[in-house]
Amino acid sequence: MAKTFDENTADIKNQEKYTLRVREILKSKGRTPKYYITTFGCQQNEADSERLSGTAKNLGYQKAESMEDADLIIFNTCAVREHAELRALSKTGQLKHLKDKNKNLLIGLWGCMVSQEKRVEDIKHKYPYVDFVAGTNMLHRLPEILCDVMENDRRRYYVDELDYSIVEGVPVERNNDVKAYVSIMYGCNNFCTYCIVPHVRGRERSRKKEDILAEVRELVENGYKEITLLGQNVNSYGKTLEEKCDFATLVEEICKIEGDFTLRFMTSHPKDVSDRLIEVIKNNSKVERHFHLPVQSGSTRILSEMNRKYTREGYLETVRKLREAVPDIVLTTDIIVGFPGESAEDFEDTLSLIKEVKYDSVFSFIYSKRPGTPASEMEDFTSDEEKTERMSRLLALHRENITAINASYVGKTVRVLCEQDEDENGFFGGRTSGFKLVKFTSENKDIYGKYVDVKIESFGESLLRGQNI
């Protein structure tokens, strides 16, 4: 059961007690300690790491330039694919020599990967130098965790508590001074058969509209130019709130905030893209012309096996509505290659859908078995070689599409938010409204954090090149 407002306030107050104690312990060491956080995975993990960073600074730590200089190291982990888990574990293995050099170093593993029981057992037995483990719902309790480890000199595992209430007021240390992430909801109720997220992040719950609006206003007042709303499925926003507010209404309310800023959001589930949301995007110039719409497969049969709750035809109808309402909309997607039972015909359906939609970006992955999900128990008769060959064909098709799409920009002038200052080769960097990466030159050197007009002169597979005019 979710906590009440008073209980959440008490949670934060309780953490203040631990914060004071940790500060005392750190101060007694006679020097300023440093922290280092590494993030694996999605934008939601990046947003979570910003809160871990903010809390660490509030406790008295300073940010370290490298892990070798740190007194506190936290890996914020991902569990979406096995590769992400193995990479995090490999990096964790490399920390042993740092612990040997610095006995006072505290090492923690956080997030999705360690919210799985089997991984916790791995860490207990194979990584004895890891001091603490904490799940995705423990962000506000970092002071308590560190206090427990420091005072009791013991390893701690904060992963078996099922309270997934939203707690406001956690300090934030932003990684960027131009763009900012704002989490509007956590968890997921969709239970796609291949996905571990609902099992490690809990069920869907939304932040209150007024808390989100207050955070966005503060960011805009502080000069942030681009706000990205985050959620496992932003289109489901508001369903758990007592005071009802759907995602389209939230976007509309944010667009009313005064200031020179733009708005992005991800990720959207195709089954929940409402006509009203499309209308809100059409009527509000602050909403960027980019829509990430994961399809996962072009085969209705495979979509059913994935429990995606839409058909190929339904997905294409959503695409049609978006492009009819917003002709310059840029569409990107996620696709899984080699889902259990995917036939050659199913894969051809995916290729034909890519040909029809012509995405600007395709994030494609060979299916990764996630223990504990229904898909992990499904029979799979496709060889790894065949999956790799299918992936190669998909990427080749996408390259054809993107070459034609990017070529069409040459000679056009686009609006770009400059988010990378001039590099050693004289190029600034930024993105268009449609999230296209642009490298460009400019006679005006004072453009970082500003919107500029860039005339496109050439293109590559993954970027456009031009000149500020």
CATH code: domain of residue 183: 3.30.750.210
Sheet holding 179-183: strands in order across?
179-183, 226-230, 262-266
Does residue 225 form part of some domain? yes
8 A C-beta contact, residue 228 and residue 266: yes
Residue 320 and residue 360 share a domain:
yes
Does residue 168 form part of some domain? no
Residue 270 to residue 267: CA distance in whole angstroms: 10
Please give the chain's pLDDT, 469 residues, in tens.
344 444 445 566 788 899 999 999 999 988 899 999 999 999 999 999 999 999 999 999 999 999 999 999 999 999 998 899 999 999 999 999 999 999 889 999 999 999 988 899 899 999 999 999 999 888 999 999 999 999 988 888 988 666 667 889 899 999 999 999 999 999 999 999 999 999 898 899 999 999 999 999 999 999 999 999 999 999 999 999 988 899 999 999 999 999 999 999 999 999 999 999 999 999 999 999 999 999 999 999 999 999 999 999 999 999 999 999 999 999 999 999 999 999 999 999 999 999 999 999 999 999 999 999 999 999 999 999 999 999 999 999 999 999 999 999 999 999 999 999 999 999 999 999 999 999 999 999 999 999 999 999 999 999 999 999 9
Does residue 462 form part of some domain? yes
> Could you say which of 362, 382, 407 is where a domain stops?
407
Does residue 164 form part of some domain? no
Residue 217 and residue 92 share a domain:
no
Residue 274 and residue 294 share a domain:
no
Residue 64 to residue 31: CA distance in whole angstroms: 14
Residue 12 and residue 143 share a domain:
yes
Please list, residue by residue across 212-229, b when 16 or more beta carbons sit within 10 angstroms of its beta carbon and e when fewer do. bbebbeebbeeebbbbbb
Domain that holds residue 106: 5-158
Answer whether the bond into residue 249 is a cis peptide, omega within 30°: no
> Could you say which of 407, 429, 455 is where a domain stops?
407
Residue 77 and residue 16 share a domain:
yes
Residue 235 and residue 271 share a domain:
yes
* Domain of residue 145, CATH code: 3.40.50.12160
pLDDT at position 158, please?
86
8 A C-beta contact, residue 254 and residue 263: yes
Residue 111 to residue 45: CA distance in whole angstroms: 8
Residue 461 and residue 326 share a domain:
no
Phi, psi of 282 (to 5 degrees): -60, -40
Residue 100 and residue 45 share a domain:
yes
Residue 224 and residue 347 share a domain:
no
* Domain of residue 450, CATH code: 2.40.50.140
CA 272-233-243 angle, to 5 degrees, is 80
> Element (H or E) spanning 56, and its range?
helix 43-59
Does residue 189 form part of some domain? yes
pTM value is 0.93
> Could you say which of 229, 263, 287 is where a domain stops?
287
Q: Cβ atoms within 10 A of the Cβ of 280, count?
A: 19
Q: Where are the alpha helices (DSSP H) in 131-246?
A: 142-152, 197-201, 209-221
Does residue 441 form part of some domain? yes
Residue 455 and residue 391 share a domain:
no
Does residue 257 form part of some domain? yes
Residue 194 and residue 281 share a domain:
yes
Residue 142 to residue 19: CA distance in whole angstroms: 9
pLDDT at position 167, please?
85
Q: Which distant-in-sequence residues (6+ apart) come within 8 Å of 147 by Cβ?
A: 18, 21, 22, 25
Q: Based on the structure, what is the number of domains in the chain?
A: 4
pLDDT at position 431, please?
97
Residue 24 to residue 133: CA distance in whole angstroms: 23
What residue has token string 């194979």?
126
Does residue 255 form part of some domain? yes
Residue 175 to residue 305: CA distance in whole angstroms: 39
Residue 303 and residue 279 share a domain:
no
